[in-house]
Amino acid sequence: MKKPVLFIILFSCSFFLYAQETANTEFALPKGSGFITPTFNLKQSSATNTQVLGVQIDERYNLDYSVNFNWGYFLKKDFSIGLQLTYNNTREDITYYPNSVYTVSNYYNNMIYLTPNIRNYFGAGRFKAFAQTNLGFAYGQGLRRTYTDENDSKTDYKKMEVTIAVQPGIAVFVADFMTVELSINLIGFTSTLEKSTLNNTYESTKKTNTVDFDINVLSMQIGLGFYFNSKKYAKPKPKN
């Protein structure tokens, strides 16, 4: 419950600051301008001596990070089309005792996302809200190795995804050409096709469709935006 409230508070504070801003400042994003926004997202967790569904877990370590670059070009004022490139890496290491058998599991996965998008901006001052609509395509490979006292196994994965998502955010102009940006995936549909091969012999295929309406603050992206051909449009409004 706290995560959605936090995000709503951030939006509310930004709009409040925008309303309090001096009336003689305007930051326009006209046709022909553009931007590039690099962002980074990191999730890391670890646990020791825990139980999940009655299974004893001695150690568990999770690492999930992504690096993202979003390019955009303004077809008209405050409306851009763009392309987003993302690299995601996931790792999970577990030492546990399923059925009282000592087991070590290591999982690695790498994904590349290519996401065409459109973005609409709202507001005229330093604080601008935006709504970005994404159509994403992804491909990745993974590997899980499991070691036990009696047997070792290896599973190779290949995964393909198609995603449609709405990504709202806030851009704060700290200079005529630079912003601090915060965004989060709000609503999305993902279709996934995963093929796996066990010990280079047994093959299987899994298809899943997911609709997500959850606000997950851990998936929040924070980065710097660099805008081109916008400085000369950041000019004072006439005073009354």
Give the residue, 67 or 221, on which the prediction is more confident.
67
Q: Among all chains, which residue has been given the structure tokens 């190795």? A: 145
What is the rounded distance in angstroms from the CA atom of residue 177 to the CA atom of residue 167? 22
Give yes or no for residue 4 having a pLDDT over 60: no
pLDDT in tens, 152-202: 899 999 999 999 999 899 999 888 889 999 888 777 899 999 999 999 888
Over residues 73-80, mean pLDDT: 94
What is the rounded distance in angstroms from the CA atom of residue 94 to the CA atom of residue 103? 8
Residue 8 lies in a domain: yes
Parallel, antiparallel, or unpaired: how do β-strands 202-212 and 221-228 relate? unpaired
pLDDT of residue 132: 94
Q: Which two tokens stand for residue 27?
A: 């930051």
Residue 108 sits in which domain range?
2-233
Give yes or no for residue 209 having a pLDDT over 70: yes
Over residues 126-140, mean pLDDT: 93
Q: How many domains does the chain have?
A: 1
Q: How many CB atoms lie within 10 A of CB 60?
A: 18
Residue 115 lies in a domain: yes
Give the residue, 219 or 120, on which the prediction is more confident.
120
